[in-house]
Amino acid sequence: MQINRLNHGGNIDRNQVLSFQFNGMTYQGYQGDTLASALLANGVNVVGRSFKYSRPRGIMTADAQEPNAIFQIGTNASTIPNPRATQTPLYDNLVASSTNGWPNVEFDMMAGIGKLGGAMMPPGFYYKTFMYPQSMWMNYEKLIRKGAGLGRSPMTADPDRYDTMHHHCDVMIIGGGVAGIMAALNAAQTGANVIICDEQEQLGGQTLSSTETVNDITATQWLSQQIEQLRKQENILVLSRSTTFGYYDHNLIGINQRCTDHLGEHVPHSTRQRVHKVRAKQIVLATGAHERPLVYGNNDIPGCMLANAISTYIQCYAVIPGNKLVLMTTNDSAYQAAIDWHDAGRQVMAIIDTRPKTDSAIIQQAQNKGINIIFSHAVIEVQGSKRVNSVNIAPINNTGDNVIGPAINIVCDTVASSGGWSPVLHLSSHLGQKPLWRDDIIGFVPGQNDLLNCGAVSGKYALLSVIEDGIATGGKAAELSGFERLTDLPIPDIIPQITAAPMALFHVPHIQTTSRAPKQFVDYQNDVTAAAIELANREGFESIEHVKRYTALGFGTDQGKLGNINGIAITAKSLAKTIPETGTTIFRPMYTPTTMGALAGAHVKQLFAPARFTAMHQWHLQHGAEFEDVGQWKRPWYFPKNGESMQQALLRECLATRNSVGILDASTLGKIDIQGKDAREFLNRIYTNAWSKLGIGKCRYGVMCKEDGMIFDDGVTSCINDHHFIMTTTTGGAAGVLQWLELWHQTEWPELEVYFTSVTDHWTTMTISGPNSRKVLQKVCQDDVSKQALPFMSWIDATVAGVKARIFRISFTGELSFEINVPANLGLSVWQHIMDAGAEFEITPYGTETMHILRAEKGFIIVGQDTDGSVTPQDLDMNWVISPNKSFSCIGKRSWDRIDTKRNDRKQMVGLKAKDTNQVLPEGAQIVLDPQQKLPMTMVGHVTSSYFSACLGYSFALALVKSGTSRYGETVYLPQANGQIYEAEICSPIFYDPKGERQHVE
């Protein structure tokens, strides 16, 4: 039974009945309802329990301010925590539950604890109560979290899709009330591209519930015409159900559009929410104003609502949320709620106007309807528990500080209050602007003039002035973005109403002092009362930012919507300051909670990060490779056969390469084509060694250092001709190295004639390595690849398997080794021919792990594994790679003369042999000299690479150890977290073929 549903009116479709569940009960509403309006229609009073005191709470507002009806919407994987029911469109079979008040809101097990705890929970409660003993904090936290509620994240993968769209426009208008609509229309008629967004289900804002007359038709009819015009205009993009959550530098705003949330919990094959990132030439805030409640005793009992919310529910949803209304107001606008209530046929008990007797058109209107108006009074206290059952009203003085007479009781079930309006200036605050207080409108407005805003957000509330402001601001925005503003849209005819001035009242006085009076809530979501704010002030928290943190006023998902101005006013009063002196806290993004899904967008699952593939990836997949991420590349890690373990596969791959031939996909190595007559000179400056005499057809290994003398990349560079070199870099370092070369060329040495072009993706590189590698190569290549024609560290142009190739005789394994480079379009094809040719030698594909083992056996470093940006070539005992006599210095050279880099107790690279030859020392393990030393022990180094060697028959490691090169033969210790201590002997880092006979083989 929708007991509070009116038979007529509202923007709902009574033919479309929707069923929904709230806290396990089934109700019905109509298409066009929000969850909040449907709950009110069904007479649901209690929708949650409060955060700290566990008090029953009902729906208070009809907009983004809602502090109580914050629900868990949906089930299982698609559930969303914390949407406001006031902004949640109803759909069939919607499931919602309170985020607070377990196990149910009607009978709350926490209530007893809450009431008791509440008394013990003053502001600053966390800091005071749960500080000691510190070890208990984790337990306290669990208790608090469970009690506090506020939603839960889904525990399973999100079935929905989200994405992002980028826009560029001339004029972005935030807010689709009448100010925003008129601004959009007027800006668009100049030819400007306009985007307008609005967070509610329907465009129109407050005007949707207006009863005024515009151009001789009702305001809502006139509004419909404007909206129709808006949608027709080709250069206006209208985003509805779209919340601007943040306003960022350089005119960027973030908007979250709820695309399907109004259709159902999960709508297959569609985007659930879409983030629009809009870069605009001009941004107009038309965000409107929020009505401010008054702060009075027990103002949180269900049935206490904002006056304007009552009008909205009656006008837009045909829902009247009670039977007997008492309205308390400081201003004219709230009278509309009483008039609407009266016109809907239910009883208005009284309008309690806090102002001394005054007169205006709307007061007249109320009087003419026979509504009882009591001036100079206030509702000082409400009675009831799960619903209001009466109020106490009392006379107050003209400034609203004191009760000046006895209270009388009025029976009612609904209390509407209005303390005036607060412009919604949150977005203006995101950029750090300080809001400006205006006494005439009793509210803050956006602070600076360079920000365009119109309508209620700039303190204009009368319909006529809102329309005028919207038109003027839209025109100005178009003009500022470069369009010619000829004639503005005409101003419609509206008869101005005679109004009476509002009264500045925030905190309603009580007969008793604030601390003794019934609780007067300021921030409902965080359970902050007027007494708590005064207490915080008394305890010395005077800055509004400190008051906020001590009391939690305006924290979390609330971001100071409903309670902030009242909290500031109470602080100002208790400190005897003015409101502008007290100032506001900073509002931050998100304006309302935004789902993680929306922010992640489509960058999830296999699109989480780009994966790069080589030309042979399909082959690797077909041959069972396990993959390793190297930078963004998917590189084969190892190729297990017949259910081998990783270790078994590695032993097999290593032995096959050392004894016959292995093949590695090395395409991911960075390759940079360097051309120009100064290429050699450039290499001289970038690399530590000399390049002036590298002959055509020769290759050379080099390391690059940053200015601090520390190694940051290495690789082999080959001379194609005197003006042409090809550089290889580490896989992960490729982009950084190209950037580094460009940086030095463009900023320091532009006079050098040299061009760099990345050819990483162009060349597929396959390395065949091992004693039989030449035999395999000779089967697919007729060119002379003998030692004479192709000695170690040289390269030739050749034809491999019918494809023009470059063959480099370089070795990262220490074996006879050829790196064959072919254009990647033919990479897979050539790879297959080589595999066929190698079959008789049991050519064995190997991955990065075997490559690591084989190179470590030779003591070849991997930059980034054996170095960490704090290692010089000298630390690696690589003086041979430094050419001291170059005519132009090289990058890093000067730093090797620093006292620190000349120390002889720097960490230097060594080999380690574990005493237990089967024990693979953990990479990263710290090394100490004295295992008996008490903690903290003196650590002299760490393991950088560690493997078991199939060829050597024992485990070995590379390590950086202080003064390591002079410690060969010494025993060191590696204490483990479990108390075990490994022993190892320091040795040369070259374990295998120290003379290099194998790679130089005939």
Partner 1 sequence: MSNNYINSPASPLAHTNLAQLAKQHSNVTAGINFRELMLLGHLILRGNANDPAFLNGAQQSLQLALPITPCSSSKNSDYLVFWLSPNEWLIICQQETFAQLTAQLTDNLVGHYALVDVSSAQTIIELSGDEVINLLKKSTSYNTNPDHFTIGKVVTTTFAQTSATIYKAESQRFLLVTRRSFTDYIWIWIQQASQEYGLKILPPAKALE
Task: State which of residues 144, 504, 759, 928 lies at the interface with partner 1 (CB under 8 A).
Answer: 759
Q: Work out whether 222 is an interface residue with partner 1 (CB under 8 A).
A: no
Query: Do residues 36 and 321 make contact, with C-beta atoms less than 8 angstroms apart?
Result: no
User: Is 286 or 822 the residue whose CB approaches partner 1 more closely?
Assistant: 822
Query: Do residues 553 and 592 make contact, with C-beta atoms less than 8 angstroms apart?
Result: no
Minimum gap (Å) between residue 269 Cβ and partner 1? 7
Show the binding pattern over residues 279-308: x = contacts partner 1 (CB under 8 A), - = does not. Answer: x-----------------------------
Q: How many residues belong to the chain?
A: 1002
Show the binding pattern over residues 134-163: x = contacts partner 1 (CB under 8 A), - = does not. Answer: ---------------------------x-x
Q: Work out whether 706 is an interface residue with partner 1 (CB under 8 A).
A: no
Binding residues for partner 1 restricted to 858-877, rule: CB under 8 A: none
Query: Do residues 741 and 758 make contact, with C-beta atoms less than 8 angstroms apart?
Result: no
User: Is 542 or 836 the residue whose CB approaches partner 1 more closely?
Assistant: 836
Task: List, in sequence order, every residue forming a beta bridge with 877; answer none if it has no partner.
Answer: none
What ranges make up the beta strands (E) of 50-202? Answer: 56-57, 70-73, 80-84, 94-98, 161-174, 194-197
Q: Where are the alpha helices (DSSP H) in 794-926?
A: 827-838, 848-857, 899-902
Minimum gap (Å) between residue 629 Cβ and partner 1? 13
Task: State which of residues 455, 827, 859, 892 lies at the interface with partner 1 (CB under 8 A).
Answer: 827
Task: State which of residues 408, 411, 607, 696 lies at the interface with partner 1 (CB under 8 A).
Answer: 607
Task: List, in sequence order, every residue forming a beta bridge with 605; answer none if it has no partner.
Answer: none
* Closest by CA position to 388, among listed 417, 352, 351, 414: 414
Show the binding pattern over residues 895-924: x = contacts partner 1 (CB under 8 A), - = does not. Answer: ------------------------------
Task: State which of residues 633, 846, 948, 982 lies at the interface with partner 1 (CB under 8 A).
Answer: 633
Task: State which of residues 168, 369, 898, 902 lies at the interface with partner 1 (CB under 8 A).
Answer: 168
Integer CA distances (angstroms), 613 to 6, 209, 629, 975, in order: 64, 59, 11, 40
Minimum gap (Å) between residue 238 Cβ and partner 1? 16
Task: State which of residues 401, 581, 761, 784 lies at the interface with partner 1 (CB under 8 A).
Answer: 761
Minimum gap (Å) between residue 169 Cβ and partner 1? 8
Q: Work out whether 825 is an interface residue with partner 1 (CB under 8 A).
A: yes
Binding residues for partner 1 restricted to 11-50, rule: CB under 8 A: none
Minimum gap (Å) between residue 13 Cβ and partner 1? 27
Show the binding pattern over residues 191-220: x = contacts partner 1 (CB under 8 A), - = does not. Answer: --x---------------------------
Minimum gap (Å) between residue 614 Cβ and partner 1? 7
Longest pairwise C-alpha distance within the chain: 115
Span from 19-27, 526-534, 608-616, 714-722 in contact with partner 1 (CB under 8 A)? 608-616
CA 851 to chain centre: 39
Q: Work out whether 611 is an interface residue with partner 1 (CB under 8 A).
A: yes
Integer CA distances (angstroms), 828 to 558, 757, 821, in order: 58, 24, 12
Task: State which of residues 11, 31, 43, 167 lies at the interface with partner 1 (CB under 8 A).
Answer: 167
* Binding residue count for partner 1, defined by CB under 8 A: 58
Q: Work out whether 266 is an interface residue with partner 1 (CB under 8 A).
A: no
User: Is 802 or 884 the residue whose CB approaches partner 1 more closely?
Assistant: 802
Rounded distance between C-alpha atoms, residue 487 and residue 509, angstroms:
52
What ranges make up the beta strands (E) of 772-922? Answer: 794-800, 803-809, 817-823, 844-845, 907-914
Task: State which of residues 25, 116, 491, 602 lies at the interface with partner 1 (CB under 8 A).
Answer: 602
Task: State which of residues 164, 229, 895, 919 lies at the interface with partner 1 (CB under 8 A).
Answer: 164
- Phi then psi dihedrals of residue 43, to 5 deg: 70, 25
What ranges make up the beta strands (E) of 175-287? Answer: 194-197, 213-214, 217-218, 236-239, 242-248, 252-258, 271-285
- Phi then psi dihedrals of residue 291, to 5 deg: -70, 145
Q: Work out whether 277 is an interface residue with partner 1 (CB under 8 A).
A: yes
Show the binding pattern over residues 762-791: x = contacts partner 1 (CB under 8 A), - = does not. Answer: xxx-------------xxx-x---------
Task: State which of residues 578, 618, 879, 988 lies at the interface with partner 1 (CB under 8 A).
Answer: 618
Q: Work out whether 610 is an interface residue with partner 1 (CB under 8 A).
A: yes
Q: Which helix (H) or strand (E) holds 543?
A: none
Q: Work out whether 250 is an interface residue with partner 1 (CB under 8 A).
A: no
Q: Work out whether 271 is an interface residue with partner 1 (CB under 8 A).
A: yes
Binding residues for partner 1 restricted to 506-535, rule: CB under 8 A: none
Q: Work out whether 801 is an interface residue with partner 1 (CB under 8 A).
A: yes
Rounded distance between C-alpha atoms, residue 634 and residue 611, angstroms:
7
Task: State which of residues 231, 603, 641, 902 lies at the interface with partner 1 (CB under 8 A).
Answer: 603
Show the binding pattern over residues 653-682: x = contacts partner 1 (CB under 8 A), - = does not. Answer: --------------------x-xxx-----
SS3 592: coil
Minimum gap (Å) between residue 741 Cβ and partner 1? 14
Rounded distance between C-alpha atoms, residue 793 and residue 798, angstroms:
16
Task: Tell me the CB-side half-sphere exposure of residue 334, using CA atoms within 13 A.
Answer: 32
Span from 103-111, 368-376, 567-575, 598-606 in contact with partner 1 (CB under 8 A)? 598-606
DSSP-derived letter for residue 33 is -
Query: Do residues 68 and 524 make contact, with C-beta atoms less than 8 angstroms apart?
Result: yes
Q: Work out whether 251 is an interface residue with partner 1 (CB under 8 A).
A: no
Query: Do residues 634 and 613 make contact, with C-beta atoms less than 8 angstroms apart?
Result: yes
Q: Work out whether 736 is an interface residue with partner 1 (CB under 8 A).
A: no
DSSP-derived letter for residue 54 is -
CA 876 to chain centre: 42
Query: Do residues 494 and 214 make contact, with C-beta atoms less than 8 angstroms apart?
Result: yes
Minimum gap (Å) between residue 730 Cβ and partner 1? 16
Q: Work out whether 721 is an interface residue with partner 1 (CB under 8 A).
A: no
Q: Which helix (H) or strand (E) holds 959?
A: strand 955-962
Residue 825's CB is within 10 A of a number of other CB atoms, namely 11
Q: Work out whether 237 is an interface residue with partner 1 (CB under 8 A).
A: no
Q: Work out whether 755 is an interface residue with partner 1 (CB under 8 A).
A: yes
User: Is 611 or 646 the residue whose CB approaches partner 1 more closely?
Assistant: 611
Q: Work out whether 727 is an interface residue with partner 1 (CB under 8 A).
A: no
Task: State which of residues 802, 869, 884, 994 lies at the interface with partner 1 (CB under 8 A).
Answer: 802
For the record, the structure tokens of 582 come out as: 């007290």
SS3 273: strand
Minimum gap (Å) between residue 435 Cβ and partner 1? 31
Task: List, in sequence order, every residue forming a beta bridge with 794; answer none if it has no partner.
Answer: 698, 809
Minimum gap (Å) between residue 601 Cβ and partner 1? 9
Task: State which of residues 824, 854, 876, 909 lies at the interface with partner 1 (CB under 8 A).
Answer: 824
DSSP-derived letter for residue 881 is G
Residue 418's CB is within 10 A of a number of other CB atoms, namely 27
Q: Is the peptide bond before 103 cis (omega within 30 degrees of 0)?
A: yes
Rounded distance between C-alpha atoms, residue 796 and residue 792, angstroms:
11
User: Is 223 or 826 the residue whose CB approaches partner 1 more closely?
Assistant: 826
Positive or negative, the Cα torsion across 377, 378, 383, 386? positive
Q: Work out whether 828 is an interface residue with partner 1 (CB under 8 A).
A: yes
- Residue 80, C-beta contacts closer than 8 angstroms, at least 6 positions apart: 72, 73, 74, 261, 595
SS3 378: strand
Minimum gap (Å) between residue 886 Cβ and partner 1? 23
Which residues contribute to the site for partner 1 (CB under 8 A)?
161, 163-169, 193, 269-271, 277, 279, 602-603, 606-607, 609-615, 617-618, 633, 673, 675-677, 753, 755, 757-764, 778-780, 782, 801-803, 823-830, 833
